[in-house]
Structure 1
Amino acid sequence: MTPTRTSLTRRIEREGGDVEEAFGAVLKEAAEAASHFPRLRSRIASATGTGYAEASDDTFDFGLQSLLDGLQARLTRADGRPPSEAATTRVHG
């Protein structure tokens, strides 16, 4: 069991909850949130199939990279130039 799983399990049990039910609810919400993102949706589906504790060791790295990719996509201007280039081409008046 991973340290994260152990910690979460202890917390849920201390609060009187059912561990598997709690993890199932989180995975269901994650799947709903990922419904429009195919890569993330497949990743969540693979975690659901193997169980939370057996999820790949690179899950954090994948999540972080996905988050950073999304931020980069949002920050890239419509003409493909990053925002930093737009800042250097200011009009002086």
Structure 2
Amino acid sequence: MRGMGFLTGGRQERSVGIGLIEALIVSRQVAETVRPVVDRVLWNQLVYVVFKEGALDHPHEQVNAQRLLVLVDQASDASKQALPDYAARIREIRIREIRARL
């Protein structure tokens, strides 16, 4: 889970961290007991990237946000329900994502 440490860096480090976590999730190397913790970290990063002033002005962060959104979407329903303000935030995130594409 060292990949989670990369998430706290800049755009490039965040991208590396996302890639490492994506690989672990796809290869099913994230234990079921750890996955809710990983989901919460991914959620926090998604909220940070989307709501940080001007972050989505950078194409790298738009890609990071899309990748994080895919990973969060793959979380279990129980994990999603445990995420702070999941339903309201996810709607707002999707609206911002659409606006960023216009």
Do both share a fold (TM > 0.5)? Answer: no
The TM-score, its normalising length taken from structure 2, stands at 0.29
TM-score by length of 1: 0.31
Ranked by relative contact order (alpha carbons within 8 Å, sequence separation 6 or more), the top structure is 2
The structure richer in helix per residue is: 2
